[in-house]
Chain A
Amino acid sequence: MANTHNSKISLDTLYTFYRQMLLIRRFEEKAGQLYGMGLIAGFCHLYIGQEAVVVGMQAASKPEVDTVITSYRDHGHMLACGMEANGVMAELTGRIDGYSKGKGGSMHMFSREKNFFGGHGIVGAQISIGAGMGLAHQYKGDGGVCMAYMGDGASNQGQVYEAFNIAALWKLPVVFIIENNMYGMGTSVARACAGPGLSHRGDGYGIPGFEVDGMDVLAVKEAGEKALEHARSGKGPVLLEIKTYRYRGHSMSDPAKYRDKEEVDQMRDNADPIERVRRHILAQKGTEAKLKEIEADIKSIVNTSAEFAQTSPLPDPSELYTDVLI
């Protein structure tokens, strides 16, 4: 999709993007810190570097009707869907006030109210489920579209193509989003994915595919708007390959030895999605003072969530047996 978004975005929108992306960045940094202190355990996959993807897509969507499902790298999606930082962080620490009462953890959180349907730990499983959510939108005729996110690693899973086939066959309102951060755990895309590129992975099913600069929130928003409009109008699914980068390891326990430090530094220094928005803001005569105000506000939200997540009680032992069946 052509890059034609340069000027028409309002300063207010840019401030909103800056705020949403910075919230994810600072939240994830804090989560990493709490992990380091032993307050968060198990698997914890951070979204640092990829913030523009979900913020751009949410800006393109109709959050009141559209639904979101993703993999286990899900904290950013939850915050972008409007879930509370307190509830997400408290789930990370395994406390009763977490979104899943402490029973889900980093990879398994949900909010029907915010149309966020997880948080799934099995690579690729969320894509079939997302197609089913598209089926439900179509069946009910509610005008919604499901945004089903996956990583580049999931793009090789068999069930993803089963879902592509059915979604295209039944013209389901789904936007499939491959967040290509260049590494499926420690294996680079070049070493894992055959073919001309991930945006072509729907070609065999007639699913239109587009490559998008995922370090540019405006480009993501524009591509997202077109894709969502296509799916919403009954023409069937669209595939977006959104090229992004994660600064941190795959999970907290990943030493990231499979890539050069220079590569990470290069992305961080030259392509950072938050810096990019910051530059847009200043170019449109936004003020440093306003940015500082946003930063202070975000810092306060994140610190509050960390405090909340440490003071919320552990789930009562009786919770062990609840929520198995309705």
Chain B
Amino acid sequence: MSIQILMPALSPTMTQGKLTKWHVAVGDAVKSGQVMAEIETDKATMEVEAVDEGIIAKLLVTAGTPDVPVNTPIALLAEEGEDVAIVAAEAPTAVCTPQADASLTPYCIPAAPAAPVTSAPALPSYDGPTSTVTVREALRDAMAEEMRRDKDVFLMGEEVAQYQGAYKVSQGLLDEFGPKRIMDTPITEHGFAGIGVGAAFLGLKPIVEFMTFNFSMQAIDQIINSAAKTLYMSGGQMGCPIVFRGPNGAASRVGAQHSQCFASWYAHCPGLKVVSPYDAASAKGLLKAAIRDPNPVIFLEHELMYGRSFEVPTDPDFVIPIGKARIVREGTDVTITAFSIMVGKALEAAEILASEGIQAEVIDLMTIRPLDTQTIVESVMKTNRIVSVEEGWPFAGVGSEISAVVMEQAFDYLDAPVHRVASVDVPLPYAANLEQLALPQVEHIVNAVKAVTYR
């Protein structure tokens, strides 16, 4: 059986080319890898190498022929033992045109099946004992409990061990768990984020602390390209059970490079879960869920919340499922969504509004991705109005997503356009007055609610 040598495509976009030169002639023996011809496109000149071995029986396209379509037979090769003359007399058989094969063509993409919809998990009810702890301690306790529970969990980051944490979140952990499991890293976020990913690929469960999430931008390639995408790219073989955590958003007077909310950045990316708790109980319950989760989780804390105290369940099995929002104040007139520090501001706004006769329902999103759209939509069906609050910038922010969801799923229930409260669309300024003006304040939320309630 003779072998047809076809005009190759040498780039993803090449459809035809000029056969400029033959390096072999009829009767020549060719070996795998031998250069047989040169072809030229508008982009480049390239060599055609032999894959199969044999003797050139016939050259079907003469040197210098322009516009030879890809996959046109250009030569016939006689295999060992075949008669070259007989092969040369054969007419080229049907040209192989895989692009024309319907099973291969990329042009008939099947209608995308709907993304599977999974309903959000229920929030646990808890009526056991509680104790008053700070958000900082709650986070530390969550890590300590999970490290006692699972020897594969460890913490790494800048100043997490001997210094006891730049914000003292890891206080005491080195004493209990030792340097093998509480690891100080050099100030090299890109490198140690990648090291965390590699350790997770081999089955460990790293908690990677960024001193603040601002520095995660150094590492964002590892977070998205390596941690988030590998499960998919490996067809489900390679999970990455890792938590990236640290303070997110604006602290106080630290300027533009250290004051940024990454919720919408990370929530944009499939393969990640993004969590951003408000109080100590949710911080603890969600961090424990994040550490137990087999997927990469971005855990966004807030420096200004670390010192605030709340009641926290003492039960070490108190875990809050990722993917569920909670209604922290019920109301009938307007829905306010918020997360992290903004939940507190939304609650303050709700108090003021109540004194003016407007009953606001406040939703603490807790998880940004996967977003609990059901809780949001059901609330809007009741209140018919919604204001989203976030510390990040408005463009393509979490509020933009919520706005789209409500428009898509509850359009007929809306009595007013969705209103977004966000940071002003500028890098955060340093001056006290300008910083105050740039960040969302309680009065902004009050004003937004009045706008959507036409008051």
Contact = CB atoms under 8 A, between A and B. Distances in A.
A131 B113 contact: no
A136 B194 contact: no
Contacts of B185: 166
Contacts of B197: 128-129, 132
A35 B8 contact: yes
Contact of A255 (B43, B188, B222): B43
Interface in B300-349: none
B112 A317 contact: yes
A132 B199 contact: yes
B357 to A, nearest CB: 44
Given A122-B221, A131-B195, A169-B186, A255 B98 contact: no
A120 interface: yes
B8 A131 contact: no
B257 interface: no
A41 interface: yes
Nearest to B71: A37
B110 A103 contact: no
Interface stretch (A52-60, A105-113, A193-201, A224-232): A105-113
Contacts of B270: 324
A158 B233 CA distance: 25
A118 B234 contact: yes
Contacts of B294: 326
A104 B198 contact: no
B238 A117 contact: yes
B225 A125 contact: yes
A262 interface: no
Given A41-B12, A139-B199, A100 B191 contact: no
B180 interface: yes
Interface string B192-205: 11111111111110
Given A132-B195, A257-B44, A323-B231, A100 B202 contact: no
Contacts of B12: 41-42, 253
Nearest to A131: B195
Q: Which of A101, A136, A170 has the most CB of B within 10 A?
A: A136
Nearest to A315: B235
Contacts of A37: 6, 8-9, 71, 96, 98
B116 A136 contact: no
Contact of B198 (A38, A99, A136, A314): A136
A256 B103 CA distance: 33
Interface residues of A, number: 77
A171 to B, nearest CB: 13
Nearest to A306: B51
B437 interface: no
Given A117-B201, A122-B225, A318-B113, A104 B234 contact: yes
Interface string A82-125: 00000000000000001111111000111110000111111001
B32 A26 contact: yes
A209 interface: no
A130 B222 CA distance: 12
Contacts of A30: 51
Contacts of A165: 186, 188, 191
Contacts of A35: 8-10
B195 A166 contact: yes
B141 to A, nearest CB: 23
A114 B129 CA distance: 49
Nearest to B273: A325
Residue of A122, A158, A317, A323 ringed by the most chain B CB atoms within 10 A: A323
B299 interface: no
Contacts of B21: none
Interface string A245-265: 001010011111100000000
B207 to A, nearest CB: 14
Nearest to B181: A139
Interface in B196-222: 196-204, 221-222
Interface in B1-19: 6-12, 14
A135 interface: yes
Contact of A131 (B14, B112, B194): B194
B234 A128 contact: no
Contacts of A104: 233-235
B231 A324 contact: yes
B182 to A, nearest CB: 13
B191 A166 contact: yes
B125 interface: no
B190 A326 contact: no
Interface string B140-170: 0000000000000010000000000000000
A29 interface: yes
A324 B198 contact: no
A302 to B, nearest CB: 9
Interface in A295-326: 314, 317-318, 320-326
A133 B203 CA distance: 9
A320 B238 CA distance: 17
A139 B200 CA distance: 12
Contacts of A41: 12
A318 B236 CA distance: 14
A131 B196 CA distance: 9
A67 B113 CA distance: 37
For the complex of A and B, list the 4 residue pairs with the smallest distance between their C-beta atoms, beginning with the closest. Answer: A132-B198, A128-B194, A162-B191, A36-B8
10 contacts: A29-B49, A99-B234, A101-B235, A125-B221, A128-B197, A132-B199, A132-B200, A166-B192, A255-B46, A324-B231
Given A117-B198, A321-B116, 13 more contacts: A26-B32, A67-B202, A110-B234, A112-B238, A128-B190, A128-B192, A132-B194, A133-B199, A135-B204, A166-B186, A255-B43, A323-B234, A324-B270
Interface of B: 6-12, 14, 32-33, 43-46, 48-49, 51, 70-71, 96, 98-99, 103-104, 110, 112-113, 115-116, 154, 180, 183, 185-186, 188, 190-204, 221-222, 225-226, 230-239, 270-271, 273, 294-295
Interface of A: 25-26, 29-30, 32-33, 35-39, 41-42, 48, 67, 69, 98-104, 108-112, 117-122, 125, 127-137, 139-140, 146, 158-159, 161-163, 165-166, 169-170, 247, 249, 252-257, 268, 314, 317-318, 320-326
